[in-house]
Structure 1
């Protein structure tokens, strides 16, 4: 007698985490000898292999790491889709403090873990990892992007990300400030590699700039190049009266607590997941603040990296890549026009544009039987 089918056991532990719902794959790695603990989240390969950076940072709990990597991976799906890239959404995290845990053995072990995913996930530099890490990963696997130009890559993606934010800010200036950034006040909260490069663009455009960062050294490095910039406290930078608030550090800066304190006409920055919850998009509209969706604005790095995988196979070319990054201004315009036409928020409009592209190409995705590395694609 054939046994009666039974329901699968209910998920528990990290497998029960709500964030993993709808993901194609969430892979965990533990390598005892090097101390490596890593998670790779592949949200979607409908548009191509999942592409996203590797974060290296300590987390209070493993559940926090799962939540972070999944939120980031899902955001990459939408970022690639709305930007017109042929890439899926993925992200990775290495758990621990890179200042004390990073080693050649750990990075190589992580690279072998990526290689075992068969090309379904392509990694890149992110918070806590470096271009040197990407170059070392390349020695173990081809499934890495943003390696140094000497290895045929595009190098550090931060300058391209900053250029994309600058182009988005110019698009906002065209709508709000008669096309001029000169003499407009922009508060840049977070002056790491992207934020600091953005300040360079803003100063060159004649904007008045105020900077903030939890790291005093980062602020001083910017002021050494631009003595005229103002300085605000990182905890209250969002309350400074300005034309544009530009969050360029970690996410969830826009919330029910912070939005009422904003004193700006627009928000446009490079940080991921700036809205703490989706309802914050409505709160911004109600507050009269124009929001440039983060995954539209900060796509410059992945657009630049995508040029390493140009369909024609031509070598990476920086001028060609940065011309494409400048298209962020056009994409943002489409998003804001769609929001106005639909009577919705910019965040919702950006989501819809991304989802429509994914849905339109889903039948094509089902025809793909494998990614470049041989792993099965699951659209």
Structure 2
């Protein structure tokens, strides 16, 4: 915690409902720590702790880079989402969450659903991901895809001098809810799209709807295209695949696309422009957390903010060139600079208040 400047790590347990887990508070400089509630089976409790710490720190950087006034955190419930869910369990979590009095705000994540968030919301107001009827933003996949689309445009502008995507070849790996909308945006912009997914029924549907071509999941990354867009599993950029890439841009929604930081360095050395995943996939988070602003959710404002990912990616490319560093490092620097800047402003405000007292 000291090495990476974590603020708090909370453990919770309730024998009556069977719930146990951990809440990580990484940084609250920009605002309350916010992040998803993950429900997963872990080999050990330490694995769950490490996951919460890693993901919480990632949320700090995502919010900071996205211009959202929230800090980073994560909740992990150690349980099997397929068989251990119950109303009592999520109500118990809601009560634990409520004890933090707004220090941490949670949302949907791996292993949890909107329905689970509704149950948690019955015990605490500190839930961000909710259906429209409860004041939430509703489904966020279209806005996540819109952010990826804006990242692709910014990267294409850097590589080819224009952000127009007509006839630009894009290979999309994974066409789930986010991938579907990305394909929609790309084809509407005139891009030449090829897709791959393990769900053959899904690829057939998109072929019929958008006229895209289908490629094997084993070879989609190696196509001769301008843009490779990983929207499925993480660690797709690894020792094996990196030598097979023929693209000039990597920009997708998948988390943890780099198997290791060194692969970000390799992409840079190969002249491949990488849109850091937490920059490209921030659209859903930006859209979802708009409801926390004064006055509640405003869709026009939320979409406008998502579209500014284009500007953010452009700024990160600029930092990358000025500092002669890969874009994944430039993204971290961009986020850290905002946290430091806002932290100084808040410190000044506290000084003024203290002097007045």
Give TM-score scaled by structure 1 length: 0.84
Runs of 4+ in structure 1 deviating by more than 6 angstroms, as ranges, are none
| Alignment pair present for 1:350 and 2:334 | no
| Alignment pair present for 1:86 and 2:74 | no
Query: Corresponding residue for 2:340?
Result: 359
Of 47-56 and 177-186, deviating more is 177-186
Query: Corresponding residue for 2:297?
Result: 316
CA distance 1:223–1:127, change in 2 (3 Å): farther
CA distance 1:63–1:239, change in 2 (3 Å): farther
Which of 188, 191, 197 matches 1:207? Answer: 191
Which of 179, 191, 202 matches 2:175? Answer: 191
Query: Corresponding residue for 1:15?
Result: none
CA distance 1:262–1:34, change in 2 (3 Å): farther
CA distance 1:94–1:241, change in 2 (3 Å): farther
Whether the 8 Å contact between 1:19 and 1:71 is mirrored in structure 2 is no
State the distance in 2 between where 1:279 and 1:156 align: 35
| Alignment pair present for 1:52 and 2:35 | yes
- Match of 1:135, SS state, is helix
Whether the 8 Å contact between 2:283 and 2:309 is mirrored in structure 1 is yes
State the distance in 1 between where 2:122 and 2:270 align: 50
Query: Corresponding residue for 2:93?
Result: 110
Whether the 8 Å contact between 2:156 and 2:249 is mirrored in structure 1 is no
CA distance 1:346–1:155, change in 2 (3 Å): same
CA distance 1:200–1:167, change in 2 (3 Å): same
- Cα deviation, residue 321, structure 1: 0.7
Of 22-31 and 139-148, deviating more is 22-31
Deviations, residues 22-71 of structure 1 (Å, cap 9, x unaligned): 32122233334444343322111111101112233333443333333222
State the distance in 2 between where 1:169 and 1:138 align: 36
Which of 247, 250, 253 matches 1:270? Answer: 253
- Match of 1:92, SS state, is strand
Query: Corresponding residue for 2:232?
Result: 249
Query: Corresponding residue for 1:70?
Result: 53
| Alignment pair present for 1:232 and 2:215 | yes
State the distance in 2 between where 1:236 and 1:67 align: 33
- Cα deviation, residue 329, structure 1: 0.1
- Cα deviation, residue 224, structure 1: 5.6
- Match of 1:99, SS state, is coil
- Cα deviation, residue 318, structure 1: 0.7
Question: What is the alpha-carbon root mean square deviation over aligned residues?
Answer: 2.4
Query: Corresponding residue for 1:305?
Result: 288
Query: Corresponding residue for 2:102?
Result: 119
State the distance in 1 between where 2:170 and 2:222 align: 12
- Structure 1 unaligned regions, length at least 5: 1-17, 370-379
Query: Corresponding residue for 2:270?
Result: 287
CA distance 1:25–1:236, change in 2 (3 Å): farther
Which of 325, 341, 345 matches 2:322? Answer: 341
- Match of 2:92, SS state, is helix
Mapping 1:153-168, distance limit 5 Å? 153-168=136-151
Whether the 8 Å contact between 1:153 and 1:316 is mirrored in structure 2 is yes
Q: How many residues align?
A: 349
Deviations, residues 97-144 of structure 1 (Å, cap 9, x unaligned): 423333322222222222222211111122332222222221111111
Query: Corresponding residue for 1:12?
Result: none
| Alignment pair present for 1:29 and 2:4 | no
State the distance in 1 between where 2:199 and 2:96 align: 33
State the distance in 2 between where 1:43 and 1:73 align: 6
State the distance in 1 between where 2:177 and 2:4 align: 33
- Structure 2 unaligned regions, length at least 5: 351-357
